[in-house]
Structure 1
Amino acid sequence: MTNKMAEKTELKGNWNEQKGKLKKKFAILTDNDLLYEQGKKEEMLGKLQVKLGKTKEELVKIIESL
């Protein structure tokens, strides 16, 4: 499985649980920031990058470590 495929699985599979953990880790995040819609993952990650000051790679590592 390639890393891109793992990313998709990670975000889609357990997203509600991961969303809760992200909100605990980064109190400034809202449900709206973490709204994951099919086909809009890149848009959501872009918003998180801006809000948290992280690179896309850093965000993916954070999400994978939850």
Structure 2
Amino acid sequence: MNMDELKGGWKQVKGRVREAWGVLTDDDVDQIEGDREQLVGLIQSRYGKTREAAEREVDEFLSRF
């Protein structure tokens, strides 16, 4: 899934984002609006992960779509 597809399909994907990263709030997910960098940053800060680990998780998640 590329960035345009992510932004275009965000309404369908955001429920799965909440399932994958339950610490993120509905407001967090709404604010991301399909922006991969914002998703990576929130995962990094909320879960205390390195940037690389957060990017890897997001890439693995997006590869399923």
Sort the TM-score into its range (normalised by shorter chain).
Answer: 0.5 to 0.7
Matched length:
60
Q: CA deviation at 1:37?
A: 4.6
Between Structure 1 and Structure 2, which shows a larger proportion of helix residues?
Answer: 2
SS of the aligned residue for 1:32 comes to: helix
Q: Does the 8 A contact of 1:45 with 1:56 survive in 2?
A: yes
2:37 corresponding residue in structure 1: 42
Give distance in 1, aligned partners of 2:5 and 2:59. Answer: 9
Which stretches in structure 2 are left out of the alignment for 5+ residues? none
What RMSD over aligned residues (CA atoms) do the two structures have, in Å? 2.5
Q: TM-score, normalised by structure 1?
A: 0.59
Indicate the percent of aligned positions where both proteins have the same amino acid. Answer: 27
Q: 1:7 and 1:17, CA in 2 relative to 1: closer, same or farther beyond 3 A?
A: same
C-alpha deviations, 1:2-57, integer Å up to 9, x for none?
Answer: xxxx431232121111111111233222122222258x642342112222434213
Structure 1 residue runs of 4+, over 3 Å off? none
Which stretches in structure 1 are left out of the alignment for 5+ residues? 1-5
1:13 corresponding residue in structure 2: 8
Q: 1:32 and 1:64, CA in 2 relative to 1: closer, same or farther beyond 3 A?
A: farther
Q: TM-score, normalised by structure 2?
A: 0.60
